[in-house]
Amino acid sequence: MRVLLCPDKFAGTLSAPDVAEAVADGWHEVAGGDELLVRPLADGGPGFLDVLADALDARRVPVPTVDPLGRPAAGEILVTADGTAYVESAQACGLHLLGPAERDPKATTSYGLGLLISAAVEHGARQVVIGLGGSATNDAGAGMLTALGVTPLDEAGLALPYGGAALAAVAALGGAPRLRDARLVAATDVDNPLLGLHGASNVFGPQKGADKADVLLLDAALERFAAVLERDLPGCPAGLGVLPGGGAAGGLGAAILALGGSCESGIGLVTRAIGLDTALDTVDLVITGEGSFDHQSLRGKVVAGVAGAARDRGVPCVVLAGRVSTGRREAAAAGVTEAYSLVEHFGGEERGGIEAAMGRPAEGLRALGARLARQWSR
C-alpha cells in the first residue's frame, strides 16, 4: 500500500516533519511493508523554510536578526542557484518568540524581517519569496521598511519609534528602498485587507494581545500609514488599504505590495515545490493534519487543500489533529474521510487529554499511526 503523509505543523508542539515522522513510525510498527511518501507541508507561517529546505536544491545561510521586541534572534535564508531566496517572517516576527506577557502589537516591530530580506538581496537574490504567518506584529511592515531603507517620519522629520501605535503620528517617509531591483513575493493564504472590519488589526490583533481600544487605535494608525505610503513611496499601488492579502502578518502583505511586490498562495507554492500533485496521483491513502482541526481549517488552510485534492482523485483522506471541532458532515464535504484527535486519544478533556496532547504529541501520533495501519493497510 502507498500512503502519503503530508501534515502541517502542530503549532506549539511539533514541526510538520516531526509530525510526519511520528505517524510513519507508528504505521511501520504494524505494516512495515507499506510504502510511505513523506511530504510535510506549510503555508507561509512557521516551518515554511524547513519544508522547502527538504524539497529544494538550496543552501541555508544563517542570518543574525532581531525578534519583535528588538532582541537578538537567529534567522536564516534559503538561497537557490536560480537567484531565488526564501525567507520566513516568523523567524523574526513570530508570536512564538514572545511570552504571553510580552505580546503587545502596539509596540512589536517587523524590523527583523527587513534584516532577513536585506541579507537575501546582499546574497544576490533577484526574487525574494517571503513566507507570512504566525506574526506578533501589527505595524504594516513599518519596521521591515525601515531596515530596507524607508523610514517613517513624524511632522518634525524625526524617525518614529517601532510598533503599530507610533504610526498614528506618521507624516512622511525618509530614504528609499535598498532592494537592488529584487522582486518581492508574499507567500500567504490570508486574503484579508490591511484596514477595516476584516483587516489586520480587527481580525488578527486580538490574537496578538490587542484589546478593543488597541484595535481601534491600530486600525486608525495603519490607515494613516497606508495613505503616506501611497503618497510618498514610488510604485505603491492605489487603494493599498483594501487590497487582498494586505492584512497578512499584521500588514506585512501591504508593505510588500507597496514595494511593488505580489501575493501568492503559500500552500500552492509549497505543494508545487514538493511535488504534491504527482504524489497524490500515485497513492491509496492520504494522511494530513494540524494542531487544531476547526472551522477555519476548511477555509484555505493546508488541510482543506490536501483533502480537496484527494477528494478530486477519489482517494480517502484522514486528518490527525491535536483537537477536532469540525462537524463530520462539514468535514466530509471538504473531502475528509475520517478525523482523529489527540485529545480524545488521551481520554478527552475531562481526563487530562489536553495536557497529554500538548505534552506527549509524538507518542499520541505514533499510536494513531499504528491504529490507522491496522484499519487501512492491506
Grid cell of 48 as nine digits: 515554511
Question: Given this model, what pLDDT does residue 350 score?
Answer: 80
Mean pLDDT rounded to a whole number for the chain? 94
- pLDDT > 90: percent of the chain: 83
Q: What angle do CA 198, 203, 206 make, to 5 degrees?
A: 155
Q: Where are the alpha helices (DSSP H) in the chain?
A: 16-30, 48-55, 90-93, 111-122, 142-147, 212-232, 248-258, 266-274, 276-280, 302-312, 328-333, 342-345, 353-359, 361-376
pLDDT of residue 267: 86
Q: Are 319 and 289 in contact (CB under 8 A)?
A: yes
Name all domains of the chain by residue range, CATH numbers in brackets: 2-39+275-376 (3.40.50.10350), 48-266 (3.90.1510.10)
Q: Note the pLDDT tens digit of each residue in 184-215.
A: 999 998 899 999 999 999 999 999 999 999 99
User: Would the pLDDT of 223 be above 90?
Assistant: yes
Whether the predicted pLDDT of 298 surpasses 80: no
Q: How far apart are CA 153 and CA 150, in angstroms?
A: 10
CB crowding 86-125: b at 16 or more within 10 Å, else e: bbbbbbbbbbebbeeebbbbbbbbbbbbbbbbbbbbeeeb
pLDDT at position 299 is: 65
pLDDT over threshold 90, residue 69: yes
Which of these, 78, 156, 148, 144, lies nearest to 118 by C-alpha position? 148
Query: Most confidently modeled of 49-53, 153-157, 292-296?
Result: 153-157
Given this model, what pLDDT does residue 246 score?
Answer: 97
Q: What is the pLDDT of residue 351?
A: 79
Looking at residue 140, what is its pLDDT?
98
Reply yes or no on whether the pLDDT at 169 is more than 70: yes
Cell numbers that stand for 54 in this block = 527538504
Q: How confident is the model at residue 295 (pLDDT cuts 50, 70, 90)?
A: confident
**pLDDT for res 12:** 81
The answer on pLDDT for 300 being more than 70 is no
Q: How far from each other are the two terminal CA atoms of the chain, in whole angstroms?
A: 7
pLDDT at 45: 87
pLDDT above 70 (res 294): yes
pLDDT at 329 exceeding the cut of 70: yes
Asked whether residue 220 carries a pLDDT value surpassing 90, the answer given is yes
Number of Cβ within 10 Å of residue 329's Cβ equals 8
pLDDT for residue 158? 97
- Mean pLDDT for 118-122 is 98
